Amino acid sequence: MINKNAGKVILVGAGPGDTGLLTLNGKQWLGKAEVVLYDHLVNPDMIRFTQKSAEMIYVGKKEGVASMTQEQINLLLIKKAHEGKLVVRLKGGDPFIFGRGGEEIQAIRKEGIPFVIVPGVTSVTGVAAYAGIPLTHRHLSSTLSIITGSNEKNQDDIHIDWEKISARAGTLVFLMGARKLPLIVEKLMQFGKSPDTPIAVVQWGTTARQKTWTGTLATIVEISKKNMILPPALTIIGEVVNLKSTIEWYESLPLFGKTVVVTRKGDQAESMIHRLQELGAEPYFFPVIETVAPDDWSPLDKALNNLSQYQGLIFTSANGVRAFIERLKAIDQDIRELKGVRVYTIGPKTAEAVQALGIRVDVVPESFVAESLIESMGKENIKGKCFLLPRAMIARETLPEQLRKMGAHVDIAPTYQTILPSQSIEVLEKKLAAGNIDVITFTSSSTVKNFLALTGEKLLPEIKKIKIACIGPITEKTARDAGLNVQIVPPQYTVLSLVDAIENYYQGS
């Protein structure tokens, strides 16, 4: 089959920060990309949407200085495309709004390289929306000007027609204007804008670091100096700024401003990330567990070939359920062999995974830990009965040990093993150093152990200072034993309760 995407460049707008603002097209291309060139303002969490094998190349600023010239970036795009790669060029906001997207496309076009352009949510509209400022309004503003606050060549002025700009009645939005704020304000007033004109400066919009300062042309420079407002910031000028007090929403969400580390991969992580975003938190995805096949399938194969000998089947995780059914198919066995076998699970997610197969779950314990399942199984007469326990290669032995003590026969069949993924800690390290991590979540003991193994001794002192949220008491114990500062454990041991518990913690209830 010919790969139609070989040697192609996809210019994708990543949106202003919140990963939820990436378009569906952008997400799809990221998922296919072999090479991704990304900028300073792209949320590094976008890596979540890429293949593990994708080559991620940072071409943005390092310590405020461009790491590559525009010419070098163009050449790199061309080189990677010529190697036959599917290249995604990921840019903050929209690539055609002060993003040099046009220049890059011109350069690759000259080489005859095919391309696609995926627009993004520009910070102009995205950040304004998250700040609660509608850029136009029927009664207040019917024009919108998008203006650059930067001029590389002339440090003392910006090449725009101040007279015309100042005469406009509608909304003015300046990008790249944080450092030039005094100049912008001075010029606008000099050319006739009223000193009372409302103005808002929004820094790091749509992220946990979003901050908004409001004032008037007369007062904002003082406010900006006092607060040392640095880029990236969007400056909005006009009567619409006054609407913020009635329209503000994002900054009032219960977890606004909090960055929460999600250490789990897969469906659970997705629902957790979603809920965190809903509550206004910024999730930072740092997966520490990867699920792969067990070293040896033979115990499971043997069990699958003799399913009718069991009276009970116990699942302890959704992963276990999935691997069990995949293997059943792989060895050409039949689910109908499970007729009459009672099915036990710990936790609702596991039960859901079983139900998705069209199998009814007979027992889900009240509390979602092994001890609770043991208790409810203890109420049945399990003496002499055979149970199959498909689960992770390494797991707690409490469940099989206790069931055996009660006289049951338990076969353990490894269905998967978890391994430590290769994972760069660079971004996490930076976030920790900048004080930008509020909570780290752990959903199992192995997430705790793997996280600490990945981050190592070097980051441990920093990690010990961060608030830890654990899904349940077993995970909590592992975290405490490692010296971590566990502050949050939900009453119910599910991922969504964990997020609720984080919300309650910050709401002070």
Query: CB of residue 350 vs ligand SAH: minimum separation in angstroms?
Result: 39
Q: What is the largest CA-CA distance in the chain?
A: 92
Smallest separation (angstroms) from ligand SAH to the CB of 505: 27
472 contributes a contact to ligand SAH by CB under 6 A:
no
Q: Quick check: helix, strand or coil at residue 52? A: coil
Name the phi and psi angles at 283, rounded to 5: -75, 140
With helix as H, strand as E and coil as C, how does 411-434 read?
EEEEEEEEECCCCCCHHHHHHHHC
CB of 190 to ligand SAH, least distance (A): 22
In the complex, minimum distance from the CB of residue 16 to ligand SAH, in angstroms, rounded to a whole number: 4
Residue 176 annotated to the active site: yes
DSSP codes, 483-500: T-EEEE--SS-SHHHHHH
Taking the complex as a whole, the smallest distance from the CB of residue 127 to ligand SAH amounts, in Å, to 5
CA distance 10 to 70: 17
Nearest approach in angstroms of CB 91 to ligand SAH is 6
Alpha-carbon distance of 134 to 452, in angstroms, equals: 44
Is 56 annotated in the active site? Answer: no
Is 22 one of the binding residues for ligand SAH (CB under 6 A)? no
Closest CA to 285 of 255, 258, 265, 257: 265
Residues 6+ apart with CB under 8 A from 431: 259, 284, 437
Shortest Cβ contact with ligand SAH: which residue? Answer: 93
99 binds ligand SAH (CB under 6 A): yes
Q: How far apart are CA 296 and CA 294, in angstroms?
A: 5
Total residue count of the chain as it appears in this document = 509
Q: Of these residues, 176, 180, 244, 377, which one is catalytic?
A: 176
Q: Which stretch binds ligand SAH (CB under 6 A): 119-127, 329-337, 388-396, 454-462?
A: 119-127
Choices 30-38, 104-112, 160-168, 196-204; region in contact with ligand SAH by CB under 6 A: 196-204
Q: How far is CA 388 from CA 122, 192, 315, 320, 359, in A?
A: 54, 81, 9, 12, 16
Q: Is 233 in the site for ligand SAH (CB under 6 A)?
A: yes
As measured in angstroms, the least distance from the Cβ of 150 to ligand SAH is: 7
Helix (H, G, I), strand (E, B) or coil at 481: helix
Catalytic residue among 39, 45, 94, 438: 39
Q: Which of 9, 33, 97, 501 binds ligand SAH (CB under 6 A)?
A: 97
**How is the beta sheet containing 282-285 ordered, strand by strand?**
282-285, 259-262, 439-442, 467-470, 485-488
Map residue 353 onto helix, strand or coil. Answer: helix
Distance CA 53, CA 472 (A): 34
Q: Which is nearer to ligand SAH, 231 or 473 (CB)?
A: 231
Among 7, 26, 44, 92, binds ligand SAH (CB under 6 A): 92
- Per CB under 6 A, the segment of 25-33, 88-96, 109-117, 456-464 that binds ligand SAH is 88-96
119 binds ligand SAH (CB under 6 A): no
Tell which residue, 222, 268, 247, 39, has the closest CA to residue 137: 247
The first and second tokens of residue 476, run together, are 């909590």
Nearer CB in complex with ligand SAH: 160/386: 160
The stretch near ligand SAH (CB under 6 A) out of 121-129, 403-411, 435-443, 481-489 is 121-129
Q: Is 90 in the site for ligand SAH (CB under 6 A)?
A: no
Q: Which of 9, 14, 35, 41 binds ligand SAH (CB under 6 A)?
A: 41
Q: Which of 132, 260, 142 is nearest to 202 (CA)?
A: 132
Does 93 contact ligand SAH by CB under 6 A?
A: yes
Residue 20 has which token pair? 């939820």
Among 204, 315, 442, 451, binds ligand SAH (CB under 6 A): 204
Q: Smallest distance, Å, CB 63 to ligand SAH? A: 16
Q: Please tell me what DSSP assigns to residue 17.
A: S
Look at residue 442 and give its three-state secondary structure: strand
- Which CB atom, from 41 or from 288, has the smaller least distance to ligand SAH? 41
> Which parts of 212-231 interact with ligand SAH (CB under 6 A)?
231
Strands 342-345 and 259-262: unpaired
Residue 74 engages ligand SAH in binding (rule: CB under 6 A): no
Pick the binder of ligand SAH from 29, 98, 285, 310 (CB under 6 A). Answer: 98
Which of 10, 42, 78, 175: binder of ligand SAH (CB under 6 A)? 175
Is 257 a binder of ligand SAH (CB under 6 A)? no
Strands (E), 319-466: 342-345, 386-392, 409-419, 439-442
Is 44 one of the binding residues for ligand SAH (CB under 6 A)?
no
Confirm or reject binding of residue 132 to ligand SAH (CB under 6 A).
no
Determine contact, residues 175/234, Cβ cutoff 8 Å: yes
Per CB under 6 A, the list member of 14, 128, 202, 217 interacting with ligand SAH is 202
Distance CA 92, CA 90 (A): 7
Residues labelled as active-site residues: 39, 61, 176
Binding positions for ligand SAH, rule: CB under 6 A: 16-17, 41, 91-94, 97-99, 122-123, 127, 175-176, 202-206, 231-234
